[in-house]
Structure 1
Amino acid sequence: MTRDHGRVATWGLVELTDEVALVVSELVANAVQHTRCHAIRVRVTRLAPGSVRVAVVDKSHCLPVPRTSGAEDGSGRGLTLVEAVTTRWGADPLPWGKRVWADLELRPRA
């Protein structure tokens, strides 16, 4: 994750580094917890100036479904957090599993 954090900063997107780290952490945690896969691929790419995509690929065919969790729940907030800090997110089925992705964009300065 440190390498991706540095890459985002070198792209001139320092303002997104914390959000990118959060999204990587949540998507990887979901993949580890819900898929039981031994191999997970993480990719952070620059889509355009001011825009980054985080993608996590695993071998499970089960697509993620956001849960409604209450304040007392100890888990189940990962996709809610991802949705809160990203422009959009989604999941694409692949022949060997799935890709869960999330796009982040710099917000216009006031």
Structure 2
Amino acid sequence: MPGIDIKDRQRRCVLPFEALPAEVRLLRRAAATQLGQWGVPTACDAAQLVVTELATNVIKHVGEGSPATLILEWKRERLRVEMHDKSSALPSVRTADCDAECGRGLHMLAAMTVDWGTVVTALGKAVWCEIELGSDAVCLRMERAIDALESYRERGTPVLPGRCETVMEESAVELIADLLHWTSARGLDPDDVLDRAQMHYEAEADAA
């Protein structure tokens, strides 16, 4: 599977791959890694199940080895998952009394997501669904935090493979340290600012 192409400011991750059974595990891992970097790991289990089902459907119904693309897009309180392939044949939900395998995947998508659908594209089709992430206020804070951390990461050394999460943690420490220096320079008490921030965090976490 090719490397991850991430447009950070748009919170969009594009993963082209070949529809092979061995690729499904790599897609699941890549999706989990990306959600961790975005700071929304609570959707990881649901996203991995959706990715598995969509990728498996491409293997079964479009053809093993066919080119496809997985797109993850974070839209505040929702995660959008899209699977693009080269076939223009749209899937349909079957009745529950047909054989066990037929239509099972779409019923699962409908049960796990808040919305889903299919659309014909210029190259074939896309099956998409949206997973609920949490309150809009919490997701807005996460989005602002990632924007700040990305800015810190861009000013640092190049990120080596497998170290992105560690670098983000180091950037978070540097950001907090800089904010403490700023509060002290303004004549504020850093401990008091940290206590107030903790109170805001706990209140919003309890409400989520």
Coordinate RMSD, CA, aligned: 2.1
Change in Cα spacing, 1:33 to 1:72, as seen in structure 2 (3 Å) is closer
**TM norm structure 1:** 0.86
Which residue number in structure 2 is paired with residue 40 of structure 1? 68
Which residue of structure 1 aligns with residue 34 of structure 2? 7
After TM superposition, the structure 1 stretch with the greater mean CA deviation from structure 2, 93-102 or 28-37, is 28-37
Contact 2:72/2:82 (<8 A) preserved: yes
Residue 82 (structure 2) aligns with: 55
Unaligned runs of 5+ in 2: 1-27, 136-206
Q: CA deviation at 1:69?
A: 3.5
Structure 1 residues 27-106: aligned runs within 5 Å: 27-36=54-63, 38-48=66-76, 50-70=77-97, 73-106=100-133
Partners of 2:94 and 2:102 within 8 A in 1: no
**Match for 1:12: what amino acid?**
G
Quote the Cα distance in structure 2 between the aligned partners of 1:19 and 1:6: 14
Q: Counterparts of 1:74 and 1:35 in 2: how far apart (Å)?
A: 16
Task: Tell me, in whole angstroms, the C-alpha distance in 2 between the residues paired with 1:26 and 1:80.
Answer: 11
Q: Deviations over 1:50-81 (max 9, x none)?
A: 31111100010001101224497245311111
State whether residues 118 and 125 of structure 2, in contact with CA within 8 Å, keep that contact through their aligned partners in structure 1: yes
Please identify the structure whose Cα radius of gyration is greater: 2
- Once residues 28 and 11 of structure 1 are traced to their aligned partners in structure 2, the CA distance between those partners, rounded to angstroms, is 22
Q: Which has the higher strand share?
A: 1
Name the structure with the higher helix share: 2
After superposing on structure 2, the runs of 4+ consecutive aligned residues of structure 1 that deviate more than 6 Å are none
- Report % sequence identity: 31
For 1:71 and 1:58, the matched residues in 2 are separated by 26
Extract unaligned runs of 5+ from structure 1: none
* Code of the aligned partner of 1:88: D
Amino acid at match of 2:73: T
Distance in 1, Cα, partners of 2:134 & 2:99 = 32
The TM-score with structure 2 as length reference comes to 0.48
Structure with more contact order per residue of length (Cα contacts < 8 Å, sep ≥ 6): 1
Cα gap change, 1:4/1:64 in structure 2, threshold over 3 Å: closer, same or farther? Answer: same
**Matched positions, count:** 109
